[in-house]
Chain A
Amino acid sequence: MKMNWANVRLVLRREVKDQLRDRRTLFTMLVLPLLLYPLLGATFVQISQFMQEHPTRIRVLGAADLPVAPKLLDGERFDAAVCSESINRLLELTIDETVPADVQARGVREVAEQEIRAGKFDAVVYVPPSFGEQLDRFREQLVEYRQRNATEDFELQVPEPEIFVNSASDKSRIAYDRVNEILRGWREGIVRENLVKSNIPAAATEPFKLTGIDVSEEVRRRAAIWSKILPFVVLIWALTGAFQPAVDMCAGEKERGTLETLLSSPVRRVEIVWGKMLTVMMFSLGTAVLNLLSMGATGTFIMGQMENLATVSPTMQFGPPPVAAMCWLLLALVPAAALFSALSLAIAAFARSSKEGQYYLMPLLLVTLPLMLLPMLPAAELDMGTSLMPITGLMLLLPTPMAAQYAEAGLYALPVVGVTMLGCLLSIRWAIDQFNNESVLFRESEQWSLRLWFQHVLKTRQATPTFAAAMLCGILILLIRFFGGFVFPTVTSWGQMAWVTTFSQLVMIVVPAVGLTYLLTRSPRQTLLLAMPKPLSLPAAVLLAIFLHPAFLWMGEGIKHVYPISEDALTQLEPLSAALASASLWSVLLVIAVVPAICEELAFRGFILSGLRSAGHRWRALVISSFLFGITHSILQQSISAFVVGLVIGYIAMQTGSILPGMLYHFTHNALAVLLSRLTPEHLGEYPFLRAFFRAAADGQAILYDWGTVFLSAAAAAILLYWLRSHQPRPAVATQPESHAAVQVT
């Protein structure tokens, strides 16, 4: 598309100036980040200081029953031997030598519960009656036991002291932690003393120490921690920073009536979109960077404060994010901001008013948030699959250069950048389409009701479905299959499997497709390609399926090599394979080859492909229909193969203008798979002619196509495809004038 960049620059400059004069934008972009993090930080410091400094009140019940040695209490406080001065200072003890009568009457637990809840105390320590005496008796017995060199076990119950805590209250939990640590230390003292009395050195309790050594460099450790948190925060701000200006620049301008002014000037709509998109991107970047800086500065300051407090555990001290990590993050921010900006712009262009625009932020967040959250899962890793997911791939790629794993980063940088760029371009295209769409630009609120809309759809339906109807059908099939998966029982026998497969093909694939055909189109014949093709195309389709099968099988092996099927999936598939092997060949061919060939073709090459083609782009329709066909296969490895097979069958359907050759191809393809699974290396021995085409697989279980077969048949397939290229479909029998209109509808 021709574009005058001078105009784009003009639009960009005006929009930037306009936004900078808008108080709302300035607030979200500048003021909010500058205030937010220092405020949050200050609160955090306050809270942590409070947690550190705040004295806790502890009631000790029955102190008289404590043993004489080792001492736990020293007057009104814990003994210096069990509690350091700094902690002692934070503890306010209320000591009852004996348990008061009223407490005894109501029960210690109830009193403790009530007093903690009422805030009188944060924790209550209860020393049971005769605890000290029992402990002393335990020690005496221990000594005696030692003296008589006894070997039998001995038992003596020492009553257990109790600490009452309300874990729903932070203060109470802190009190518990402090008291618990003191009491443990005190108990260890008793253990050591006992050992000494039994003539065992105290070192016996700890013959060796376990030491964990962190081998990571300090900088990398910091990078690793920051790389989990920062990208998420920065991307969220990039999205928020993009959305507000986008709504103001599109929906806002519509509302204020200035869009029409702009449209009446010579500037082209594509230039307007680019100018606005670059503005949105600047604000998206600006918001994200300012947030990053403010957060970094606040973070560094807080970390400093926390280190001064010196009571924080060492893992908490991770310091400011490394500079290199920040640079990588900024670099990755650019494509992410571009993607968000283009998306926001397209959505905002659709809205009639700023208010309506704001409503669309939530759905946008709902779609993008999972993509941003996924990389934060501990198990998330950068691989071929995740690198192809927009945003997710980018966020997973980020930690690698941040933690300086350049080799890995290089490997996946290309798919990640490719997917992000594609996303940007598609979003910009979408935004431009919106700006070229009269009904979007000059949309006025009209009375909308489901009934009216439905009547409208029925009234305006064409011979073949629209693009949207085709997508609806695809999504419907996916959803029905997804939820249907929960309904169907796991199959254990061939009978069940045959029934489930046939039923699900009919109900989940044919019913939606044929139902929508009758509901949304006027010519089921044209929609489902129910026409006789030229006779030669039928054997051609069968031959093509035979010739391409070796190559597909080889491709399938390749896919399994790159993406190995998980053990779980294999175990799940096992009963199925067993059931398949036990059934008669004819029944298997019927269920696995005939049924899907008819059902899936009607849906994917019939309704869906016809609908997608009505948008005009032949190849785009082919790719999308194959993609939908692919993802209805539940296992990833199958999906990839099915996608490629879908491309071939779709091409056949488009070239022949009939559903039949595709059905024959599909049948042949599936039938060959069934037949091949029945062949074993023994057959190769029995029937020598088979050896011309096949070889035994390395595991000796199955047989594979010979390499020569693969290449020769692929060559033959290429010739057939070339022949198909020049193949013209027979003119449709019942061509209606509307069919032309249908092609133009977008």
Chain B
Amino acid sequence: MINVQNLTKSYADLRRGEFVALDSISFTASPGEIFGLLGPNGAGKTSALRILSTMLRPSRGTVSVCGFDVVDDAEEVRRRIGFVSNNTAVYDRMTAWEMVEYFGRLHGLQQAELQDRMHAIFTRLQMDEIRDVLGAKMSTGMKQKVSIARALVHDPPVLIFDEATSGLDVLVARSLLKTVSDLRDHGKCIIFSTHIMREAERLCDHVAIMHHGRILANGLLAELHQQYQEDDLEELFFQLLSHHDELPLSPTG
């Protein structure tokens, strides 16, 4: 469903010169699975997910979503994904209902179908009270719900959550995790990036640990536990990172 091969992304940066945000990473994710992208801040998670959602173009390597290339068929890719991130805010001067409706329309949904689906989503996410509330008046939790509703309105096969729980209180975060795991049970392919290991442990089937633009470990959660002889994911993560930082820096391509 999602296939990332040797993806490299570099930016020109005044201070650092050519800055490599992603260094030849590869991974695949399948339907009915939550793929966790774990890493500290600045590991390159956001760059990778922005490329998946076609907002950035890869410098090298190939990325395909549902068989469509993110460069050549960017629009087809966007039709098949729902993208929720810290950076995808809701409009201040639109109500929850208008916001979701707008994106439904942009996805080409017809009026009747759109109305049905919106009613279903608003009920499922318990958003009926905030239906007519303007974005500017919403709490962080409400906004996050609207974002999820917006990402689900066209019923995409792929959902991408980039640090979606950051800034949420415990209750809202829990309910978001519940929603994500429900979506997996409905057969969606989900990419979930986070730096909170407990979330990943609870939620993900498959994880990739990223650091400095590279994937240090990649596999089923159980496999990783076994491979590194460590039951605690946070401990495992920490060991991997510190091990990597101690290594002499190998020349990068």
Contact = CB atoms under 8 A, between A and B. Distances in A.
Contacts of B89: 256-258, 260-261
B106 A10 contact: yes
A452 B15 CA distance: 6
Contact of A452 (B14, B81, B150): B14
B79 interface: yes
A258 B90 contact: yes
A460 B12 contact: yes
A14 interface: yes
Contacts of A266: 75, 78-79, 106-108
Nearest to B88: A261
B251 to A, nearest CB: 18
B13 A446 contact: yes
Nearest to B11: A439
Contact of B56 (A14, A256, A438): A438
Contacts, number: 81
Contacts of A17: 93-94, 98
B55 A263 contact: yes
A561 interface: no
B250 interface: no
Contacts of A447: 14-15
Nearest to B102: A14
A184 B18 CA distance: 84
Interface string B62-96: 00000000000001001101010111111111100
Contacts of B75: 266, 268
B144 interface: no
Interface string A12-47: 001001100110000000000000000000000000
A260 B55 contact: yes
Contact of B17 (A14, A258, A441, A459): A459
A265 B103 contact: yes
B83 to A, nearest CB: 4
B218 interface: no
Contacts of A438: 55-57
Nearest to A9: B105
Interface string A142-178: 0000000000000000000000000000000000000
Given A258-B91, A264-B83, A265-B107, A448 B56 contact: no
A442 B88 contact: no
Given A258-B89, A448-B14, A267 B106 contact: yes
Contact of B14 (A18, A22, A446): A446
Nearest to A451: B14
A306 B14 CA distance: 64
Interface string A443-460: 000111100110010011
B165 interface: no
Nearest to B107: A266
Interface in B28-66: 50, 53-57
Contacts of A456: 12, 14, 17
A261 B150 contact: yes
B17 to A, nearest CB: 6
B144 to A, nearest CB: 13
Contacts of A98: none
Contact of A18 (B13, B53, B81, B93): B93
Interface in A581-624: none
Interface residues of A, number: 31
Interface centre among A263, A265, A266 (most CB of B within 10 A): A265
Nearest to B9: A438
A7 B55 CA distance: 18
Given A10-B102, A18-B93, A264 B88 contact: yes
Contacts of B53: 263-264
A442 B46 CA distance: 12
A268 B79 CA distance: 11
Interface in B104-121: 105-108
B156 to A, nearest CB: 10
A7 B94 CA distance: 18
B103 A256 contact: no
A446 B19 CA distance: 13
Contacts of B93: 17-18, 21-22
A365 B56 CA distance: 33
Contacts of A14: 94, 102
Interface string B119-162: 00000000000000000000000000001001000000000000
Contacts of A18: 91, 93-94
Interface in A250-290: 256-258, 260-261, 263-268
Nearest to A11: B106
Given A7-B106, A438-B56, A460-B12, A260 B85 contact: yes
Nearest to A272: B106
Contacts of A21: 93
Interface centre among B17, B90, B93 (most CB of A within 10 A): B93
Contacts of A261: 88-90, 103, 147, 150
Given A257-B87, A260-B88, A265 B106 contact: yes
A260 B106 contact: no
Contacts of B91: 18, 256, 258
A265 B100 CA distance: 12
A453 B87 contact: no
A456 B57 CA distance: 22
Nearest to B92: A256
B51 to A, nearest CB: 10
B63 to A, nearest CB: 15
A446 B88 CA distance: 22
A642 B168 CA distance: 66
Contacts of B13: 446
Nearest to A20: B93
Contacts of B102: 10, 14
Interface in B180-215: none
A522 B78 CA distance: 41
Contacts of B108: 266
Q: Count chain B CB atoms within 10 A of each CB in A14, A260, A261 and give the residue with the most.
A: A261
Contacts of A10: 102, 105-106
B55 A264 contact: yes
B53 to A, nearest CB: 5
Contacts of A460: 12
Nearest to B76: A266
Contact of A264 (B14, B57, B78): B78
Contacts of A448: 14
Nearest to B18: A460
A441 B55 CA distance: 9
**Most chain A beta-carbon contacts within 10 A, residue among B11, B17, B105, B150:** B105
Contacts of B57: 438
Interface string A428-448: 000000000011011000111
A265 B81 CA distance: 8
A115 to B, nearest CB: 62
B178 to A, nearest CB: 23
A9 to B, nearest CB: 10
A453 B17 CA distance: 10
Interface centre among A7, A10, A258, A453 (most CB of B within 10 A): A258
Nearest to B83: A264
6 contacts: A14-B102, A17-B94, A21-B93, A261-B90, A265-B78, A439-B11
Interface of B: 11-15, 17, 50, 53-57, 75, 78-79, 81, 83, 85-94, 98, 102-103, 105-108, 147, 150
Interface of A: 7, 10, 14, 17-18, 21-22, 256-258, 260-261, 263-268, 438-439, 441-442, 446-449, 452-453, 456, 459-460
7 smallest beta-carbon distances between A and B, as pairs: A257-B89, A264-B83, A261-B88, A21-B93, A265-B106, A266-B78, A260-B87
Given A260-B55, A260-B87, A438-B55, 19 more contacts: A10-B102, A10-B105, A17-B98, A18-B93, A18-B94, A260-B88, A261-B147, A263-B55, A264-B53, A265-B78, A266-B75, A438-B56, A439-B11, A442-B56, A446-B15, A448-B14, A449-B14, A452-B15, A460-B12
